[in-house]
Chain A
Amino acid sequence: MIQRRGWKRWLIALAVLHGIVASAGFFTPYDPTEQDRERPYLPPMKIHLVDAQGHFHLRPFFYAEHLRAGSFDQFEESTDQPVPLRFFVSGVRYRLFGLLPSGIHLFGAQASRFYLLGSDAYGRDQFSRILYGGQISLLAGLFGAGLTLFFGTLIGATAGYYGGWRDGLLMRVAELFVALPWLYLLFALRAFLPLAVSPVQAFFLIISVIGAVGWARPARLVRGVVLSAKERDFVRAARGFGATDWYLLRRHILPETSSVVLTQAAILVPQFVLAEMTLSFLGLGVPEPLPSWGSLLASLQQYSVLVSSWWMYAPALAIVPFFLGYLGLASALQQDTGAGKIVNMTDET
């Protein structure tokens, strides 16, 4: 079902999804850390077209909500005052892509805050937190995969190109890493690193930990490609003309590995996004107040939230389109290039 379409379509779909998350400032109405202590665990707001008097409004509107008198978790709409939903409103200042300062938001409202997907324990807008949280989770996945592939290619190319004792040593170590259950390895590595760190430190810590555990599989694949590539006639010819090792690797051999590396990237990124989510979910990842998909889900560990606030589950659903995109891309790449079979459980040890 997935395989028949070209990989370009998947790439475009992924680019759009990542673009939305990257420009979260524009698509979200509020700052992800801005609190509203009057409205904790507010359910998603309803968008109306017909008001309480039965009049039809062309512009969608919503009612501001407040705690019902004498209750601490029941909200009711103040139906006397419809708040129109506005598009391209100016609001909180943000920097688009971390660079361009702007204050324009896709949607918002003047008189009251609008909660598209409800609010969390501190009354922070869940929708904004999901989009901003995606920035951290996806960035961790992308950087982690980049790091892993860098080390994997480096080690794999060294082992394959030079052979001999280097090959033996590196591949024995790689075997060790492949045999390790990688989630446990991730945990063990995280266990031996400091627990209390600043959010930014934690982020880079997670990326490097994630990057450090996964290199073995890509390294083995790259080694295989390099082994066969270095025996090709044009490589031998170039060597005969006196090309240096570095030139041969850069010009002739590494380009051969590109399809394997790309396919691996499409497989690794969602895996690492999930790894970051798992770590953050368990409280070992990026700490508050920064949102990440994992730490957003962490509130579901409380029984009361699980019972009454289903919208806290929304971040879990947000990742599904991303994973679908990556899966589609990976299988389309494999079909197109015919290289690098899906390496999951069937990889030989």
Chain B
Amino acid sequence: MRYFLRRLLQAAFLLIGVSILTFLFSALAPGNYFDEMRLNPQISPETVAALRVQYQLDRPVPVRYLRWVNSLLHGEMGYSFAYNSPVAPLLWVRARNTLLLALVASLIAWTLALTLGIWSATRLGRLPDRALSGITAALLVIPDLVLALGLLIIAVRTGWFPTGGMISVGFDSLSPLEKLRDLALHMALPVTALALSALPTLVRHVRAAIADALSAPFLRVAASHGIPRRTLLYRYALRAAANPLISLFGLSLGALLSGSLVIEVVMSWPGLGPLLLEAILARDLYVVIGGVLCSTVFLVAGNFLADVLLYLADPRIRTQVAAR
């Protein structure tokens, strides 16, 4: 238990550090949201100045930071100038969509990676294994931006999938089943792009871990005892290989959540990515800070999840922690 508390505390310190860092960057920044207004002759300089005072932009950085922390504790995370509302509800809607996308994508990617990785590891060096490592190498060198654009072109030219957005017009009038179908169709493209971008790393790690476990002495002994291949593979090898894969799982979850930015923007999926981009272009300070922080939370949460799972799965770690 103390182990988890310590990890949580570490994570909290990390998040505080990140928030201070982004605040410092924002303080160094020239210009703010109200600078655009100055160019508008209909708005007097006094109004702009008054707005600045109203939103506390004239205060020194530490004061602003403390006020921001205060509003965070009240569940607001500052105030969006462009949306004219607290940041937290804005972020929450978008973060939910990003979460949905990343969870489905990582489910698919991991299912595929485990199947392909195990299949490949049992055929080390043979043709299917080499073909698969060729494919993963090819996927590895295609960046997600290129992948997403390519998928988008295919979708547009064939018309198989709707492009852009999360739901069709008139979503509310559909029956629950049709709603699900509509959502799935809209999700198909971004999820494919995200899963494909994560897949090569995962397949390679699964393959390496299983191959490692299979060549371990205890498994050779087990094999010579005549234990069936299937049991050998799924009961013994998979368990022995689980350790690195679990930590990879947490990391990949975090990476997917925070790495879907580009794919979301390309596919116009209403997640955190497009919100952050708009906020940057509008210089909507607190939304930018909130977005960065939100994705850091995802990353840290992924790591934490991996730690918890490892603790539960691996007795060696439990005894290590207890011994400390």
A contact set with B: CB distance below 8 Å: 1-2, 175-176, 179-181, 183-185, 187-195, 274, 277-278, 281-284, 297, 300-301, 303, 306-307, 310, 313, 316-317, 319-320, 323-324, 327, 344-346, 349
Point out the residue from A1, A183, A190, A284 that lies within 8 Å of B134, measured CB to CB. A1
B141 to A346, Cβ gap below 8 A?
no
**B71 sits at the interface (CB 8 A):** no
* Distance (whole angstroms) from the CB of B19 to the closest CB of chain A: 11
Point out the residue from A175, A193, A307, A324 that lies within 8 Å of B141, measured CB to CB. A324
Could you mark each residue 60-100 of chain B with 1 if its beta carbon is under 8 Å from any beta carbon of chain A, else 0? 00000000000000000000000000000000000000000
B201 to A344, Cβ gap below 8 A?
yes
Point out the residue from B145, B153, B156, B276 that lies within 8 Å of A187, measured CB to CB. B276
B288 to A188, Cβ gap below 8 A?
yes
How distant is the Cα of A189 from the Cα of B27 in the complex, in angstroms? Answer: 11
B contact residues around A283 at 8 Å (CB): 281
Measured CB to CB, the nearest residue on chain A to B262 is: A278
**B259 sits at the interface (CB 8 A):** yes
* Most chain B C-beta atoms within 10 Å of own C-beta, residue among A191, A194, A300, A313: A191
A323 touching B292 in the complex, CB below 8 Å, given contacts A184-B261, A306-B152, A310-B153: no
* Distance (whole angstroms) from the CB of A192 to the closest CB of chain B: 3
A184 to B146, Cβ gap below 8 A?
no
B149 to A187, Cβ gap below 8 A?
no
A179 to B296, Cβ gap below 8 A?
yes
A195 to B205, Cβ gap below 8 A?
no
Report the interface size class on chain B.
Answer: 35 or more
* Distance (whole angstroms) from the CB of B205 to the closest CB of chain A: 7
A346 to B149, Cβ gap below 8 A?
no
A contact residues around B291 at 8 Å (CB): 184
B137 to A316, Cβ gap below 8 A?
no
B contact residues around A323 at 8 Å (CB): 141-143
B contact residues around A180 at 8 Å (CB): 18, 21, 292, 296, 299
Point out the residue from A181, A190, A316, A319 that lies within 8 Å of B299, measured CB to CB. A181
A contact residues around B283 at 8 Å (CB): 191, 195
Point out the residue from A175, A192, A319, A327 that lies within 8 Å of B25, measured CB to CB. A192
**B120 sits at the interface (CB 8 A):** no
B contact residues around A192 at 8 Å (CB): 25-26, 28-29, 288
A327 touching B140 in the complex, CB below 8 Å, given contacts A184-B261, A310-B153: yes
A179 touching B299 in the complex, CB below 8 Å, given contacts A184-B276, A310-B153: yes
B149 to A184, Cβ gap below 8 A?
no
Measured CB to CB, the nearest residue on chain A to B277 is: A282
Query: What is the count of residue pairs linking A and B with beta-carbon distances less than 8 angstroms?
Result: 129
Point out the residue from B279, B281, B288, B296 that lies within 8 Å of A181, measured CB to CB. B296
A184 to B156, Cβ gap below 8 A?
no
A345 to B255, Cβ gap below 8 A?
yes
B292 to A185, Cβ gap below 8 A?
yes
How distant is the Cα of A1 from the Cα of B156 in the complex, in angstroms? Answer: 34
B247 to A183, Cβ gap below 8 A?
no
Could you mark each residue 114-151 of chain B with 1 if its beta carbon is under 8 Å from any beta carbon of chain A, else 0? 00000000000000001001100100111101100110
How distant is the Cα of A307 from the Cα of B283 in the complex, in angstroms? Answer: 32
A contact residues around B130 at 8 Å (CB): 1
How distant is the Cα of A320 from the Cα of B141 in the complex, in angstroms? Answer: 6
B contact residues around A274 at 8 Å (CB): 143, 145
**B6 sits at the interface (CB 8 A):** no
* Distance (whole angstroms) from the CB of B180 to the closest CB of chain A: 26
**B106 sits at the interface (CB 8 A):** no
A contact residues around B21 at 8 Å (CB): 176, 180
B contact residues around A284 at 8 Å (CB): 280
**B102 sits at the interface (CB 8 A):** no
A contact residues around B279 at 8 Å (CB): 191
24 residue pairs from A and B, CB less than 8 Å apart: A1-B137, A2-B137, A176-B17, A176-B21, A179-B18, A179-B299, A179-B300, A181-B295, A191-B280, A191-B288, A277-B145, A282-B277, A284-B280, A297-B145, A297-B149, A301-B266, A306-B153, A307-B156, A316-B146, A320-B146, A323-B142, A346-B244, A346-B248, A349-B303
B18 to A176, Cβ gap below 8 A?
yes
